[in-house]
Amino acid sequence: MLETAAIFIGSEIYRGSSYGGAHPLRVPRVSTVMDLARSLGWLAGRYRTSPRAKPAALLAFHTAEYIAALQAAEAGMIGAEAMARHQIGTLSNPVFPQIYSRPATGAGGVLLAAELLSEGGAVHVPGGGTHHGLPDRANGFCYLNDPVLAIMALRRMGLRVAYVDLDAHHCDGVEFAFAGVPEVLLISVHEQARWPFTGALGVVAGNCVNLPVPPQYNDSAARLVLHEMILPRLHAFAPQVIVVQAGADALLEDPLSCLALSNNAYVEALREIKRLASRLMLLGGGGYNPWSVGRCWTLLWAELSGQDVPDVLPDAAQAVLRQLSWGGGGRPLPEPALLTTLRDAPREGPICDELRARVAALARA
């Protein structure tokens, strides 16, 4: 149902910005997507620079005290009491040079995307997707909750919003914001027994559908979930806009999950989901292998914007992938295909009875 040209929202703030050398988010991600897409000629006439959200816009979900604490932390002027109260300066949520301006740019990107979607179309904001942030504290690498801010902006337009979260981790911050709001449907597919240890199987408050999946969740299993749970729920809800959080940490190569998807599963999900509404916002999210996350989000941009994906990347695109590294940590170099292609080999496999039973249980819920 998407008819207008897709728009890509990015920013140079992501280039060289890091949570620190010991953190999983030391690796480049959004800048890799920008560079890959540009090297393939896929951004001409479609790229928009993300603005930085103003503090007043962030108050739609976050507290003034918390926003002030983030600004103080970026200025190097935050005290120990405020850090403890707002969970800033922890191993997961460290103080880094762009601790306020980077997440505020992600928030600005989704707010711009919401404006662009007022008349329909599709927008990709790979810097968005920080779905753990809470009103008064950082949580799970997330300082602001841009999916919540995006949904709130779309709701102010009077739109009926469906949010589909494919990240390996449950979207606890988004559920906190919208549980019990009938004009918002939330669907989360995430790894069982994985941080933040929320999102148990079932339907919360009538509108939040949670499906924890077992380790080694593969493309075949994801197809079952897509066609027997996600798409029927979306059809029944009839959204006017769909927000897809495409956290790439469910890919086989990701170091922070035990799932086994190929990026084809993400493409298949996006291809089917985008048929169901005239507006779609595609966000990033998790993803901690620099090669797999960059390839996945670039491939999703190709799907959203109607690009032909080459079997073998041209030299300029391969150069983008070859210059990536883990940034320390002693992990092995990627398989050769991750340096020369965008599309993974399929990762089909058995579908366990436990997953089938959970999907059936949700169909009855």
Domains of the chain, start order: 7-52+101-364 (3.40.800.20)
Mean pLDDT of the chain: 97
**Which stretches of the chain are assigned E, i.e. beta strand?**
7-10, 47-49, 121-125, 161-165, 184-191, 202-204, 208-213, 241-245, 279-283
Q: Contact, 124 vs 304, CB < 8 A?
A: yes
Tens of pLDDT, residues 26-60: 999 999 999 999 999 999 999 999 999 999 999 99
pLDDT (tens digit, 9 = 90+) per residue, 132-158? 999 999 999 999 999 999 999 999 999
Q: What are phi and psi of 243, to 5 degrees?
A: -105, 125
131 tagged catalytic? no
Q: Residue 329: which pLDDT band, with cuts at 50, 70 and 90?
A: confident
The pLDDT value recorded for residue 1 is: 61
Which residue among 124, 131, 132, 190 is the active-site one? 132
Q: Which helix (H) or strand (E) holds 221?
A: helix 219-225
Residue 3, pLDDT > 70, answer no
The pLDDT of residue 330: 80
Q: Tell me the C-alpha distance between 242 and 276, whole Å.
A: 8
pLDDT beyond 80 at 19: yes
First to last CA, the chain: 29
Q: What is the pLDDT of residue 258?
A: 98
| pLDDT above 70 as % of the chain | 99
pLDDT at 338 (0 to 100): 98
What local confidence, expressed as pLDDT, does residue 89 receive? 97
